[in-house]
């Protein structure tokens, strides 16, 4: 079994301009050799790499390596096929989820 990520919720706000939506931000730390399953429940996900790098493959497209200061977005319906920290150092990112309030 591969190690799993550590998650710290940074904030959770209901959007006043769209009351059925919330915005949630989390700090995610990925240990070496970690993999993460898909689980954003139909949310729009914005991620910004803050430490090391992250390998990601989405919707059957070729793998892409995201380095520090790079960001990416996953739209609802996106299917990540690979999400992992294949390095020997921990990796970190700040992620923002825009989702239906009832889901969170």
Q: Average pLDDT of 69-94?
A: 88
The 8-class DSSP code of residue 63 comes to P
**Whole-Å CA distances, 4 to 31, 87, 91, 96:** 7, 14, 12, 19
Q: Average pLDDT of 23-52?
A: 87
Nearest to 54 by CA among 102, 8, 19, 95: 95
CA distance 63 to 15: 34
pLDDT computed for residue 71 by the predictor: 95
Residue 30 near residue 36, CB atoms below 8 Å? yes
Q: Average pLDDT of 44-59?
A: 91
35 has a pLDDT exceeding 90 = no
Instruction: Assign 26 a pLDDT band (cuts: 50, 70, 90).
Output: very high
39 has a pLDDT exceeding 80 = no
25 has a pLDDT exceeding 90 = yes
104 has a pLDDT exceeding 80 = no
Q: Average pLDDT of 88-94?
A: 92
Q: Which domains does the chain have, with CATH numbers?
A: 6-100 (2.60.120.10)
């Amino acid at each position: 079994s591969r190690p799993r990520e550590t998650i710290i919720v940074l904030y959770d706000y209901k959007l006043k301009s769209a009351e059925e939506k919330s915005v949630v931000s989390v700090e995610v730390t990925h240990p070496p050799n970690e993999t993460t399953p898909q689980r954003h429940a139909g949310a729009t996900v914005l991620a910004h790499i803050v430490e090391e790098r992250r390998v990601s493959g989405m919707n059957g497209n070729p793998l892409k390596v995201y380095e520090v200061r790079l960001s990416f977005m996953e739209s609802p319906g996106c299917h990540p096929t690979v999400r992992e920290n294949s390095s020997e150092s921990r990796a970190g990112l700040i992620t923002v989820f825009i989702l239906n309030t009832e889901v969170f």
